[in-house]
Amino acid sequence: MITGKNYIGDNLSSNSSVTFQTFNPKLNIENDITFYEASDSEIQKSVELAFQAFKKYKLVSSVEKSKFLNQIADELQLISNDIVNIYCSETGLSEARCLAELTRTINQLRSFSELLINGDFQEVSIDTSIPNRVPAPKPDLRKMLMPLGPVAVFGASNFPLAYSTAGGDTASALAAGCPVILKSHPMHAGTGEVVSAAIIRAVKITNMPNGVFSNLNSKGIEVGEKLVNNPRVKAVGFTGSLRGGRAIYDLASRRDNPIPVFAEMGSVNPVLIFPEKLHKEYAELAEKFAKSITIGSGQFCTNPGIIISFESEIFDLFIKNLVEEIEKLSPSCMLHPNIYNAYINGIENIKKNKHISVLTKEDSESKANFPKHVISSVKAKNFIQDKKLQDEIFGPCSLIVKCLDENEMLQVINSMEGQLTGTILADTNENFLGEKIINALELKVGRIIFNGVPTGVEVCPSMTHGGPYPASTDSRFSAVGTNSIKRWLRPVSFQDFPQNLLPNELKNDNPLMINRKINGIASKNEI
Amino acid sequence: MITGKNYIGDNLSSNSSVTFQTFNPKLNIENDITFYEASDSEIQKSVELAFQAFKKYKLVSSVEKSKFLNQIADELQLISNDIVNIYCSETGLSEARCLAELTRTINQLRSFSELLINGDFQEVSIDTSIPNRVPAPKPDLRKMLMPLGPVAVFGASNFPLAYSTAGGDTASALAAGCPVILKSHPMHAGTGEVVSAAIIRAVKITNMPNGVFSNLNSKGIEVGEKLVNNPRVKAVGFTGSLRGGRAIYDLASRRDNPIPVFAEMGSVNPVLIFPEKLHKEYAELAEKFAKSITIGSGQFCTNPGIIISFESEIFDLFIKNLVEEIEKLSPSCMLHPNIYNAYINGIENIKKNKHISVLTKEDSESKANFPKHVISSVKAKNFIQDKKLQDEIFGPCSLIVKCLDENEMLQVINSMEGQLTGTILADTNENFLGEKIINALELKVGRIIFNGVPTGVEVCPSMTHGGPYPASTDSRFSAVGTNSIKRWLRPVSFQDFPQNLLPNELKNDNPLMINRKINGIASKNEI
């Protein structure tokens, strides 16, 4: 039963007369349920509750927080049918995709739950005193990471589960000890409410403080702006467009007290292909990349938007195969008419560019929200001159960039902005593949893939999902994997503290049995 | 032999006709040497050299970088006499202080040199593949931290060695693999040149790429602004005033490609004193804090600027003793007339505030640049109402805040902005000392000291020198200690890479013999 209301802590609330509905892009009609925009007082209340909850929640033991995250995972598992129904009606995505994303979401929650148990994420470091050191005694210093405070999380349009309500940002922030105020994505507000209800149930079952999670509905940008400007909010997590992410970053950095923003934004994910590899596998590569470009209707932030190689017969053959393969695949539904229309506009702009050739067929009108797959090509020198060709077109398309030689390929790489990923398709003893290319690419990306596709972001400690701006607003952190918890933590040092007043993590007898660095050496030892 | 020129890489350069001199505050006269403001082309050249050097320097092995840092330390050791002469003439600080700061600077360099050897700072993490995992194979992912790129470092006025030319920001950035363009502090440009010459000698001796370090002179703000706005500059380190730090943060966050800024700025470092402690030690505490408030003429960012306790006879006795002790101590020279005048203005403003009583004697004019020590007091309710009383007055003064009860003390803490440090002076079984107080203070600071003074920042892994804004612009990092290297590093992941193309840190056979996390378990094992 979806109410359309906001969760202000555990209270379902609908003060505002402003309402909106979600949209079923497959049927091309609005859904029935009415959602209530969060009012100013609801925003204020959610933040105030989060602040009060923070003071309690930061004192909750890691073991209890771990149970809380597991309970959220359990609650989601229990309602997978409800989630599938609302998810599919609001996104145009398939049941299989929904279930895969739900599994990912649940696994993320459980991996943070596990992380909380071993305590490594707190980076406990203890340097014991040397009272008789000359010229001055060395004090006892003990450091651990502590939560920043309430975090505002913006749900992503393209991952209604894994990067939204109970997604990576929420899971990592709650694991860090930070309450979350979720600004639900308006395209899947119903999915957001169903997931929020599961979180609220977990809050109650595990006795977490009320206000540790709130869910705010909003069709426009005002609710998000007010959240980011609220002095009680101490950090922001965002996944979405460059325009949206930059607007939030600008707001946050212009506050009287600026706060960190981790925005994971646009990326065109360049793919470099080398001749030996092409000669051996052009057909397989074409098939593989046709799938990677069109998966989820191209609505992945790691979508391979630029494919770069050398002008040659073998590259032309690859391109011909890619075009054929991608035309074989049926268009799949996009998330929303707004996203579909933005894609159509992006493709129209490409067609107007005199340096670009569109290679896929220009047949009759496509069905609303089911976009045609588009492959186009451009010469490297024109690509380098026109920065706009680097703008992400969110959808199932890719631009081929043809270089004269390795030097021009280097220029293409050097001309590019920051990217989430870069991919190299090559034989390991490829003539053209110098360290130069890898070193140049490395400066631009958060992750380099060798002989794979960039889509598919494994959740593991060694994953980096982020990168130099505009891939993200802070390349020093990752949005995926357990290390993403670091975004919401800061070090606090305790100097010469008596045992009874220290946090348990820092006490001599290591009551939590966690790993600590004691005078530089990692151990679980007592002091 | 000081030339007054800029180091553009290893080249001494003086394009500009704009010049300035440093000042001897003890003698109250300008020093002889003429310094040349860095010109636009010199700025541009230094950044371009840094960018070119970066491509080479990031490939230099950690062992070689470690030797480079050690060589800088050696070079500084060799010229300690030269440093003392110019340092004392430009700062009004004593020879003993200079030597202590030089030792700290050298030790910092050596500690980063050591850090580079064990490799822990790179946080190498390897998750091996599971090709037969269902529903999808798990790829091989290997992650390490890599340098951001050229870093602009702004020298601090109050630490001409330890937080300037070869200070903590420079040492940590060079250790991270980032070239440094140093914007020298105009008050001690000569010290800056002497230290820069030592760094340049070390660059040559250890065969580091030219441009890995440059030193730019500037009396005003324009050189710094141009540096921060240069697209090749990828991060900024700053130690100084809130106004200066915020201006740099604003510039950096308004760039087309925003970059991270770590600015360590103002702080009033609240000290909370509890009654039992006062009863036992009021006289000793008064003596200790008189020294802490006046050390370095109060020009320490950890200077105890606010002292908070409960209205009582024993607190009055402490205050009386503190005033007596501080009046016994002779004024010491401030760094520069500008800093002296800012202090005098700050004190004048305090005197005008009708809620504040100045407790130290108002005697005749002080000697130029030798400021009087000032203790004043205010009631907590008036302190809470007037945010301006939280502004740092850089110099040897402290404001006593008198609370009615524990509740009012909590309000005082809650009303405060972010701080580098908070200090608690208490008996361990003090009635008034609840967890509430510690928990409230912890939210505001980077370091809490128990029964000590905030001045004196130990360089060790467990130190945090930073804190919530405005103590710093990013509380997630520390400016002191080897962890400060994290400010200049970002994770990069390599997916399914062949062994020969991986960085040495990530290769199966662990040729560098460093600690790595392999599938979550730390070891030096091969794979």
Query: In sequence order, what E strands does B366-514 have?
Result: 374-379, 397-403, 419-425, 445-450, 489-495
Contact B458 A494 (CB under 8 A): no
Q: What is the nearest CA distance from A392 to chain B, expressed in angstroms? A: 16
CB atoms within 10 A of CB B29: 10
CB contact B249 to A (< 8 Å): yes
Dihedral of CA atoms A8, A12, A16, A22 in degrees, nearest 10, equals 100
- Domains, chain A, in order of start with CATH, read 7-19+28-265+477-487 (3.40.605.10), 270-450 (3.40.309.10)
One DSSP character per residue, B192-245 reads HHHHHHHHHHHHHHTTPPTTSEEEE--SSSHHHHHHHH-TT--EEEEES-HHHH
Q: How far is CA A211 from the centre of its chain?
A: 24
Interface list for B 81-120 with A (CB within 8 A): 100
Burial A411-432 (b: 16+ CB within 10 A, else e): bbbebbbbbbbbbbbbbeebeb
Contacts of A449 in chain B (CB under 8 A): 139, 495-496
8 Å CB contact between B183 and B155 = yes
Catalytic residue among A101, A193, A264, A505: A264
Residue with tokens 């100084």: B240
Sorted by sequence, the CB contacts under 8 Å of residue B461 that are 6+ apart come out as A125, A127, A143, A517, A520, B481, B482, B483
Please tell me the predicted confidence (pLDDT) of residue B155: 96
Catalytic residue among B37, B42, B264, B392: B264
CB contact B59 to A (< 8 Å): yes
8 Å CB contact between A157 and A240 = yes
Whole-number Å distance between alpha carbons of A487 and A479: 8
- Chain A interface test: which of B459, B476, B519 (most A C-beta within 10 Å): B476
Contacts of B121 in chain A (CB under 8 A): none
Count Cβ atoms within 10 A of the Cβ of residue A107 and give its class: 0-12 exposed, 13-18 middle, 19 or more buried: middle
Whole-number Å distance between alpha carbons of A209 and A339: 38
Residue with tokens 């169903």: A194
- Chain A interface test: which of B118, B436, B438, B462 (most A C-beta within 10 Å): B462
B360: which DSSP letter?
Answer: S
8 Å CB contact between A107 and A500 = no
**Residue B301 annotated in active site:** yes
Please tell me the predicted confidence (pLDDT) of residue B120: 87
Please tell me the predicted confidence (pLDDT) of residue B470: 97
Catalytic residue among B98, B301, B333, B403: B301
- B495 closest CB neighbour out of A142, A448, A494: A448
Whole-number Å distance between alpha carbons of A409 and A308: 8
Question: How far is CA A316 from each of CA A168, A278, A432, A488, rounded to the nearest angstrom?
Answer: 40, 10, 18, 48
CB contact B489 to A (< 8 Å): yes
Rounded mean pLDDT for each run of 10 residues along chain B, 527 residues in total = 96 96 96 98 98 96 97 98 97 96 97 92 96 92 98 97 98 98 98 98 98 97 97 97 96 98 95 96 97 94 96 98 96 94 94 96 80 96 95 95 96 97 91 81 97 92 96 97 96 96 96 94 93
Chain A residue with minimal CA distance to B464?
Answer: A493
Q: List the alpha helices (DSSP H) in A424-514.
A: 435-442
Please tell me the predicted confidence (pLDDT) of residue B127: 97
H/E stretch holding A110? helix A95-118
Whether ipTM exceeds 0.85: yes
Q: What is the nearest CA distance from A485 to chain B, expressed in angstroms? A: 12
Question: How far is CA A266 from each of CA A241, A303, A350, A465, rounded to the nearest angstrom?
Answer: 6, 10, 18, 12
CB contact B438 to A (< 8 Å): yes
Catalytic residue among A301, A333, A397, A403: A301
Q: How many helices (H) and strands (E) in chain A?
A: 14, 23
Three-state DSSP at A446 gives strand
Nearest of A431, A479, A436 to residue A171 by alpha carbon: A479
Residues linked to residue A308 through DSSP beta bridges, in sequence order = A272, A401
Whole-number Å distance between alpha carbons of B34 and B14: 11
Q: How far is CA B238 from the centre of its chain?
A: 7
Q: How many helices (H) and strands (E) in chain B?
A: 14, 23
Q: Which two tokens stand for residue A114?
A: 């596990």
Q: What is the nearest CA distance from A280 to chain B, expressed in angstroms? A: 18
Contacts of B134 in chain A (CB under 8 A): none
8 Å CB contact between B51 and B186 = no
CB contact B459 to A (< 8 Å): no
Cα-atom radius of gyration of chain A, to the nearest Å? 25
Whole-number Å distance between alpha carbons of A225 and A205: 32
For chain A, what's the residue count? 527
**Residue A178 annotated in active site:** no
Please tell me the predicted confidence (pLDDT) of residue B211: 98
Please tell me the predicted confidence (pLDDT) of residue A211: 98
Rounded mean pLDDT for each run of 10 residues along chain A, 527 residues in total = 96 96 96 98 98 96 97 98 97 96 97 92 96 92 98 97 97 98 98 98 98 97 97 97 96 98 95 96 97 94 96 98 96 94 94 96 80 96 95 95 96 97 91 81 97 92 96 97 96 96 96 94 93
- A462 closest CB neighbour out of B59, B143, B452: B143
Contacts of B449 in chain A (CB under 8 A): 139, 495-496
Greatest pairwise CA separation for chain B in angstroms? 85
Please tell me the predicted confidence (pLDDT) of residue B288: 96
CB contact B370 to A (< 8 Å): no
Nearest of A225, A250, A103, A258 to residue A166 by alpha carbon: A103
Nearest of A191, A500, A466, A153 to residue A335 by alpha carbon: A191
B403: which DSSP letter?
Answer: E
Interface list for B 130-159 with A (CB within 8 A): 135-136, 138-139, 141-143, 146, 148-149
8 Å CB contact between B232 and B150 = yes
Contacts of A245 in chain B (CB under 8 A): none
Whole-number Å distance between alpha carbons of A212 and A166: 13
Chain A residue with minimal CA distance to B248?
Answer: A253
- B447 closest CB neighbour out of A249, A489, A493: A493
Whole-number Å distance between alpha carbons of B289 and B398: 10
Q: Which two tokens stand for residue A30?
A: 């609005």
The pairs formed by A350-358 with CB atoms below 8 angstroms and a separation of 24 or more are A350/A374, A350/A376, A350/A393, A350/A397, A350/A399, A353/A378, A353/A386, A353/A389, A355/A379, A355/A382, A355/A386, A356/A382, A356/A389, A356/A399
A328: which DSSP letter?
Answer: H
Tell how strand B357-358 and strand B374-379 pair up: antiparallel
